[in-house]
Amino acid sequence: MKILRKLALGAAAVALMASSAQAADIKVGSVGAVTGPIAELVAAIMSGRNLAASHVNAQGGLFKGDTYKLVLGDSACDPKAGVDAGNKVVNVDQVVAIVGASCSGGTAGMVQAVTIPAGVVTISDSATAPSITDLKDNDLVYRVAPSDAYQGAAMAALIRSRGISKVAMTYANDDYNSGIAAVFEREFKALGGTITANQVHEPDKPSYRSELSTLARGNAEALVVFAYYGSSGIAIIKNSLETGLFGEFFAADGMFDDSVIEQIGVANIAGKLSITQSASDPEDVSYKIFAKAFTAGGGNPNAPYVTHAYDASFLMALAIEKAGSADRSKIRAALRAVASAPGEIIRPGEWEKAKALIAAGKDINYEGASGNVDFDKNGDVGGLYTVNTVSADGTWKNTILR
C-alpha cells in the first residue's frame, strides 16, 4: 500500500508539473502612459493590446497552450518614467519582449537605457517622433505607427490646400512635439508658406497669454499647436480664443481627444480646429474585422492608435510563436518574417490559422488593422492620415487625407 501510495503521489506530482508546464505564462511588457497628459487616450490603446492577447489565448495560446500575458508598465509620457517602466518589466518581471511605450520621449528613454542593452525587442504603437528612426538600436526597436516625418508633411499640405499661406506655430518642449514641429516647418516653407512666428513652450503652465501675444504679432492666418491636450494644448487654444488673438487652429494627433471639445466648448471650436491623425482605411478587410471585435467589447475603433495597439500586440505574439521559444534573442528575426511577404495572409483574430501554418513550416504575412505593417530597414512603416474637425453637434468628423 505504501508503494502504491508513493506511486500515486508521484503520478500526481508529474501530472501537476506537466499541467504547469502546459499553462506557463509567456510574459510581454505592455508599457504605456497610463498616467500623464494622454491617460484617456492610452486607456483605449491598452484595450486594443488586450484584445489581441485575448484572441491569442482564446485560440490555443502560445506554443502548446502557454498563456500570452501582458505585464503592465507605466511610462507616464516621460523619459525617466519610461526608463523606470522598462527596468521593471525587463529586470523584475523578466518579460521576453515589449509592446510600447506610448509617447516618443518615454519610448526613447526606455529603449536607449534598458531594452537595447538588454537585447529586448520592442514594438511601439504610438511613438512617432522622427528621431526614433535614427536610433542605433541593433534592429530591436520597431513601430507600427508611422513616423511624424509623414504627418508633418501631411499637415503642411492640408493647410496650404485651404489657401492659408501664413501661420504662427508653437510646440511643447518634448521629443514628439518638437520633432513633428521641425518637419512641419520645413515642409510648409517648401510649399511656399511663411512661418510668422515659431515659439517653444513649457507644458503645464496656468496661462499662455504672454506667449500668444508674441505669436500674434506677425498677423498669421492660423495658429499651429504641437502639444498634448492634457498638458498645454487645450490651455493654449482657450487662451487664444479668450484674447481674440487667433481664430483658426491646426494640431497633430497629440491633441485628439473628446476632452478638447468638452473643455473648450462646441460653439467655440466647431469649424475652427483641424487635427491630423494616423488612421486606418475603413474599407480595408482587416480593419473591418478588428472594428467589429473592438466595438463588441464596448470600444471605439476610431480612437487614436487602437488599431496600431492591436497590431503591435498581435504581431509580437506571432513573432514569439514563429521563434519557437520564449528566447529574447530569437524574436527579432521572427518579427520581420511574420510581418511581410512572402506568406499566406493573416488578419486580426486569425491566431488559430497562423499557429497551424507556423507549425507546418509555412510562411505567413500579417496584414494589420492599421494597414500594411511591412517594416523598412529602420523598423518603420508607412501610413494613412485623417483630418478631424468638430461638427456643430459636438462630434468629431474625420476625412481621409489622400
Q: Are 397 and 391 in contact (CB under 8 A)?
A: yes
Cα R_g (the chain), whole angstroms: 23
Segment holding 28, helix H or strand E: strand 25-32
Q: Are 232 and 201 in contact (CB under 8 A)?
A: yes
CA dist 62 to 52, 56, 138, 147, 212, Å?
Answer: 13, 7, 26, 31, 54
C-alpha cell at position 130? 522622427
CATH fold for domain 149-279+384-401: Rossmann fold (3.40.50)
Segment holding 225, helix H or strand E: strand 222-226
| Identity at 55, one-letter amino acid code | H
Going from N- to C-terminal start, the domains of the chain cover 25-146+284-372, 149-279+384-401
C-alpha cell at position 274? 483641424
Q: Of 316, 309, 361, nearest to 26 (Cα)?
A: 316
CATH fold for domain 25-146+284-372: Rossmann fold (3.40.50)
Query: What is the pTM assigned to this prediction?
Result: 0.89
- Distance spanning both ends of the chain, measured CA to CA: 79
Q: Is the peptide bond before 97 cis (omega within 30 degrees of 0)?
A: no
| Identity at 357, one-letter amino acid code | L
Rounded Cα distance, 62 and 3, in Å: 38
Q: Are 237 and 273 in contact (CB under 8 A)?
A: yes
**pLDDT value at residue 16:** 36
The residue to which cell 506557463 is assigned: 24
**Mode of pairing for the β-strands spanning 166-172 and 194-201:** parallel
C-alpha cell at position 374? 511591412
How confident is the prediction along the chain (402 residues), in pLDDT tens digits per residue? 333 333 333 433 433 344 444 569 999 999 999 999 999 999 999 999 999 999 999 999 999 999 999 999 999 999 999 999 999 999 999 999 999 999 999 999 999 999 999 999 999 999 999 999 999 999 999 999 999 999 999 999 999 999 999 999 999 999 999 999 999 999 999 999 999 999 999 999 999 999 999 999 999 999 999 999 999 999 999 999 999 999 999 999 999 999 999 999 999 999 999 999 999 999 999 999 999 999 999 999 999 999 999 999 999 999 999 999 999 999 999 999 999 999 999 999 999 999 999 999 999 999 999 999 999 999 999 989 999 999 999 999 999 987
25-146+284-372 against 149-279+384-401: fold identical: yes
Q: How far is C-alpha 100 from the chain's CA centre?
A: 7
* Cβ neighbours around 88 below 10 Å, total: 18
Rounded Cα distance, 125 and 140, in Å: 15
What DSSP letter does each residue of 165-220 carry, written as one string? Answer: -EEEEEEESSHHHHHHHHHHHHHHHHTT-EEEEEEEE-TT-S--HHHHHHHGGG--
Give the three-class secondary structure for 92. helix
Q: Of 177, 181, 241, 169, nearest to 209 (Cα)?
A: 241
